[in-house]
Amino acid sequence: MLCVQRVNKKIKYIFRMTINQLFKEQPPTELVYRYCHLFGLSGVSDKKWFSKSDMMQHDTLCKIRTTLFDDLKKLYIDCKAKSYLTDMNEKSAITILRQLAKTLGYTVERRVVTTCNRRHTEYQLSKAIAT
C-alpha cells in the first residue's frame, strides 16, 4: 500500500506492507477462531465437513453481519473490503474463511457429493501442505 505525505513542499512516499495483499495487518488468531465458530466449527483444526446448507442452518451470514462485520472491515484493505463484504453471500463467506485460514497456515478443501441425484459441495479446513 502506498501512502503519500507532504513534507516541506516535498512528497515523501511511504510503503506499508500488506498481508497476502488483502489485510492491513495480520488477522488476530482470536478473530479467525470466532469466524470459524460461525460456521459450526470448533476452530481451524476442526476436521468437520460443512456445506452451504449447513451455513443456512447456523444462520452464518446474519451472524457475520451482526458480530464480525466491523472487525473484518477494519482488517481488510479498503478496496478488498468493498469487494468481499458488500452483498455478502455464502460463496464470499467461504472465500473470507479461506483467506483468514491461510494466515494461520490452513486451507479450505472442497469435495462434490451427490446424494439423491443432487450435487452439492462440502468444505473442510485442513493444514496447508508446504511445497
- Write out pLDDT tens, residues 21-75: 889 999 999 999 999 999 999 999 999 999 999 999 999 999 999 999 999 999 9
Please name the residues in contact with 64: beta carbons below 8 A apart, sequence gap of 6 or more: 35, 38, 72, 88, 93
Q: Is residue 19 part of a domain?
A: no
Q: What is the pTM of this model?
A: 0.82
Q: Is residue 11 part of a domain?
A: no
Residue 72 belongs to what domain range? Answer: 25-127
Query: Residue 14 — very low, low, confident or very high, per pLDDT cuts 50/70/90?
Result: very low
CA 72 to chain centre: 8
Cα(123)–Cα(52) distance, integer angstroms? 9
Cα(73)–Cα(107) distance, integer angstroms? 22
Closest C-alpha to 72, from 52, 83, 105? 83
**pLDDT single digits (tens) 69-88:** 999 999 999 999 999 999 99
Q: What is the pLDDT, as a whole number, of residue 104?
A: 93
Q: Is residue 1 part of a domain?
A: no
Q: Is residue 67 part of a domain?
A: yes
Q: How many domains does the chain have?
A: 1
Q: Is residue 9 part of a domain?
A: no
Q: Is residue 20 part of a domain?
A: no
Q: Is residue 103 part of a domain?
A: yes
Q: Is residue 17 part of a domain?
A: no
